[in-house]
Amino acid sequence: MGLFDKIRGEFIDIIEWTDFSNDTMVYRFQRHNNEIKMGAKLTVREGQVSVFVNEGQIADVFNPGMYTLETQNLPVLSTLRGWVHGFNSPFKAEVYFVSTRRFTDLKWGTQHPITLRDAEFGPVRLRAFGTYVIKVVDPKALIREIVGTDGHFTTGEITEQLRNLIVSRFAGVIGESKIPVLDLAANYEQLGNFVTNKIKQDFANYGLELSSMLVESISLPDAVEEALDKRTSMGAIGDLNKYTQFQAANAMEEAAKNPNGMAGGAMGMGMGFAMANQMGQALGNQHVEGVSLSNRGQDARDTVPPPLQQSVKYYAALEGKQAGPFDITAMQKHIQSGQLTKQTLIWHEGMKNWIPAEQVAEVKGLFDSVPPPLPS
């Protein structure tokens, strides 16, 4: 090694950083034990900021441009080192380059479903995914709060923390919005803007600016999506009876195309009988013995028996306790035995309160069939 190489190895006279990666946020200039030469050239390209750190304290910050390092443009470092009257000797300082370009297409998503209450479906669980864009706006805050002494800081070292911030705020926004699940897809843009405004300050504490946050997908559990698909299919079918007849007709047509097959013949016969039965029922609702209901009038409608009347079940307060339920026959036996009197409180479905038996019309008549007590 010649004398020139030795001197060149001891002093640094050019400081610059060319970024070939897409995810580097902060890069510490490699100087090892070399000292920075007073009068060295500092080159800060567009999309970069250079930060000088002296013994753990952030000193001077240089925006894009080319500089000749002198005590005049290193005011903070000069103060920290006591260069009040100027300094021309080499010095040591850590130089960090901070990328100020936008970091795009950063992913966020919910690791676990968000549970919320929907007005139509009740409790549901949602998963959400999207992207966001950040930019360094305060290099000092970023180095002080996050980077520290890391010589090569990338987006992968902070995206996990940022994702947690977004998901926590997003869960709160979804819960407060009360937007129906089926209407969420129409509000992706509004949700993204709202969450961006809610979380901007949290990012600013790290020296970052959340430029935008996009909601790309909000999905339901597989079981709920399957139920929605079935519900949509039912809506598309419309009249289920007509759809069944249409399916039966198609089956008969397919079976008729294969008359030589036993299975096809049997299927055709079965479908034919089923179709005939359905048609007979449909025609039976319109005609009875070849005469329309509109012509036969009340006589045809009288052939259909009325529905059976459901007997009322009663509860009674016997000996201070609730007893029952009793049908009307059991109630008559209790009256005849003297267990149930006119003042006994009874209740049946549809009543608001317990009332004396003599005030219930159906039970009051039962007391008339009970003979009075024998004279003494």
Tens digit of pLDDT at every position of the chain (376 positions): 454 444 444 567 899 999 888 899 999 998 766 688 888 999 999 999 999 998 888 999 999 999 999 888 888 888 888 776 677 788 888 899 999 999 999 999 888 888 888 777 778 888 899 999 999 999 999 999 888 888 899 999 998 889 988 888 888 888 777 788 778 878 888 888 888 888 899 999 999 999 888 988 888 777 776 766 676 666 666 666 766 777 777 777 777 776 555 454 455 555 555 555 655 565 455 444 444 444 444 554 556 666 655 678 888 888 888 887 888 888 888 888 888 888 888 888 888 888 898 888 788 878 777 666 667 6
Residue 64 confidence (pLDDT): 95
Strand arrangement, sheet containing 11-15: 11-15, 35-44, 65-68
Give the span between the Cα atoms of 250 and 362, in whole angstroms.
56
Give the span between the Cα atoms of 30 and 94, in whole angstroms.
9
Q: What DSSP state is assigned to residue 320? A: T
Residue 239 confidence (pLDDT): 64
Residue 137 confidence (pLDDT): 94
Torsion, CA 191, CA 196, CA 201, CA 207, rounded to 10: 150
Residue 283 confidence (pLDDT): 47
Give the span between the Cα atoms of 12 and 34, in whole angstroms.
6
Residue 30 confidence (pLDDT): 83
Contact by Cβ (8 Å): 106, 159: yes
Find the helix or strand (DSSP H, E) in which 314 lies.
Answer: strand 314-318
Residues of 340-356 as b/e, b for ≥16 C-beta within 10 angstroms?
beeebebbbeeeeeeee
Give the span between the Cα atoms of 325 and 346, in whole angstroms.
10
Give the span between the Cα atoms of 220 and 217, in whole angstroms.
10
Helix and strand counts by DSSP (H, E) for the chain: 12, 18
Mind giving me the DSSP string for 17-80?
-----SSEEEEE---TTPEEEEEEEEEE-TTEEEEEEETTEEEEEE-SEEEE--GGG-HHHHHH
Residue 275 confidence (pLDDT): 54
Residue 291 confidence (pLDDT): 43
Domain boundaries, the chain: 3-99, 102-222, 239-281, 314-368
Q: CATH number of the domain at 102-222, please?
A: 3.30.479.30
Contact by Cβ (8 Å): 160, 106: no
Find the helix or strand (DSSP H, E) in which 262 lies.
Answer: helix 262-284
Task: Give the strand pairing for 122-136 and 208-219.
Answer: antiparallel
Residue 187 neighbours by CB distance under 10 Å: 15
